[in-house]
Structure 1
Amino acid sequence: MSTRTWTFKKAPKQVVHRFDRCFLFNQPHLEFFMNKFIASAALAITAFMASSAFAAGDSDCHFHGNKAASQETVSGCATKRQAELVQSGKLDKAWLNVKPSNFEQIDGKKGKEWKVTFKDAAAKDKSKENLYMFFTTQGNFIAANFSGQ
């Protein structure tokens, strides 16, 4: 008679846990603490990465809250948006040399807005002599056009 207790031809494989390869972690009570450590480290890294997204400030021209943007902030954002429109091909490269000439707060469809005017006196098409950009009072870009509407 055979002394085997299993019914398969080969002996069953030993179950391998993920920490069995290291001599420190092959005790069952350490696996619980290691799982907690990995979860805590992942949470800390996620929190650190998320906090850097909220620390961007005025440099990225994307604002939250109700704090009104200053004219200098809107001017910087308008110049950045102008460069982006030129780079994407929506504006002619000649617009890169044009600086904002007028800033005013107007009543828009959803409340107060900043209206920034760029004037290109050397424009060949007089209907495209003025470029208008619209920003929320916080400084977020709304639209740009040549009509001012």
Structure 2
Amino acid sequence: MVYYQTAPLDRTFAALSDPTRRELLARLEARDGMSVSELAKPLPMSLPAVMKHLDVLSDAGLVTRTKTGRTVVCRLNAAPMEEAMEWLTRYQRFWTAALDRLANFIEDDSCSPSQASPSPAASTPPPPKSSPPGRTPKK
């Protein structure tokens, strides 16, 4: 079996792609130095499942773990996200230009509701009925 070294940027985006891992990072951002059990407590999954998520975050360099006795403490390391932000910033011009065009279109007053033509359905009378309402008598 051949193992390829995954690029750090790929590992960062892969780690950030999961909502559970993003939640773990957000909790570590709010309070630095949480134990694995503290991180796992509010999550609806087993401790081994949380540890697997922490392994992915650790492999991406987003979390550092230190063990003191039986307690493993996790800390956020946001440095790998900086490279991801630099990569995203290169492509920001594409969505910024599209959003600017959309804003200009919405702000354009050339087609206000009062200038719009009435719909054809509103100006066309309904077609006449072929028979009076009710049951048709049998012959």
TM range (shorter): under 0.3
TM-score by length of 1: 0.25
TM-score by length of 2: 0.26
**Structure having greater relative contact order (Cα 8 Å, sep ≥ 6):** 2
Greater fraction of residues in helix: 2
Greater fraction of residues in strand: 1
